[in-house]
Amino acid sequence: MTTELTSRPKPTGAEPATARRLARRVGRVRELGIAGALVLVVATATIANPRFLDPQGVRDLLLNAAIVALLAVGQTIVVVTRNVDLSVGSVLGLSAFLTADTLASNPGLPVVAGMAVGVLTGVACGVLNGLVVAVGRVPSLVVTLGTLYVVRGLDFAVAQGTQVGAADLPSGLLGFGGGRVLGVPYLVLVTLAAVLLAAFYLRSYRSGRELYAIGSHPEAAVLAGIAVGRRVFAAFVVSGAIAGLAGTLWTARYGTVDAAAGTGLELQVVAAVVVGGVAIFGGSGTVVGAALGALLLSTISGCLVVLGVPAFWQQAITGALLLAAISLDRLVALRLAAALRRSSGRGRT
Answer whether 111's CB lies under 8 Å from 176's CB.
yes
pLDDT at 12 over 60: no
Q: For the segment 233-252, what is each residue's pLDDT rounded down to a tens digit?
A: 999 999 999 999 999 999 99
Q: Are strands 180-181 and 184-185 parallel, antiparallel or unpaired?
A: antiparallel
pLDDT at 342 over 70: no
Please choose, from the candidates 83, 84, 75, 119, the residue with its C-alpha nearest in 3D space to the C-alpha of residue 273. Answer: 75
Separation between Cα atoms, residue 269 and residue 62, nearest integer Å: 15
What would the mean pLDDT of 335-348 be, rounded to a whole number? Answer: 61
Answer whether 94's CB lies under 8 Å from 158's CB.
yes
What would the mean pLDDT of 323-349 be, rounded to a whole number? Answer: 64
pLDDT at 332: 64
What is the three-class DSSP state of 182? coil
pLDDT at 110: 92
Give the CB-side neighbour count of residue 12, counting CA atoms within 13 A: 10
Q: Which residues contact 289 (CB under 8 A, 6 or more apart)?
A: 27, 30, 31, 34, 276, 277, 278
pLDDT at 14 over 50: no
What is the helix (H) or strand (E) element at residue 185, kind and residue range?
Answer: strand 184-185
How far apart, in Å, are the Cα atoms of 319 and each of 88, 233, 312, 324, 328? 19, 30, 11, 9, 14
Longest Cα–Cα distance of the chain, Å, equals 84
Answer whether 80's CB lies under 8 Å from 329's CB.
no
Q: How many CB atoms lie within 10 A of CB 93?
A: 27
pLDDT at 6 over 50: no
Give the CB-side neighbour count of residue 178, counting CA atoms within 13 A: 8
**Residue 183's pLDDT band (cuts 50, 70, 90):** confident
Distance from the Cα of residue 163 to its chain's centroid: 28
pLDDT at 87: 95
The angle formed by the CA atoms of residues 79, 83 and 88, to the nearest 5 degrees, is: 75
Q: For the segment 101-135, what is each residue's pLDDT rounded down to a tens digit?
A: 999 988 889 999 999 999 999 999 999 999 999 99
pLDDT at 334 over 80: no
How far apart, in Å, are the Cα atoms of 344 and each of 13, 132, 213, 339, 341? 11, 39, 19, 9, 5
User: pTM of the entire structure?
Assistant: 0.85
Q: Which residues contact 142 (CB under 8 A, 6 or more apart)?
A: none
pLDDT at 349: 55
Provide DSSP, 282-319.
Answer: SS---HHHHHHHHHHHHHHHHHHHHTT--HHHHHHHHH
Separation between Cα atoms, residue 258 and residue 165, nearest integer Å: 9
* Greater model confidence, 183 or 150: 150
* Greater model confidence, 175 or 314: 175
The mean pLDDT value of the chain amounts to: 84
Give the chain's length. Answer: 349
What are the chain's domains? 55-333 (1.10.3470)
Separation between Cα atoms, residue 40 and residue 188, nearest integer Å: 22
What dihedral do alpha carbons 95, 98, 100, 106 form, nearest 10°? -140
Separation between Cα atoms, residue 131 and residue 326, nearest integer Å: 28
Q: For the segment 20-54, what is each residue's pLDDT rounded down to a tens digit?
A: 555 556 556 666 777 777 788 888 778 877 777 77
pLDDT at 188 over 80: yes
Give the CB-side neighbour count of residue 332, counting CA atoms within 13 A: 25
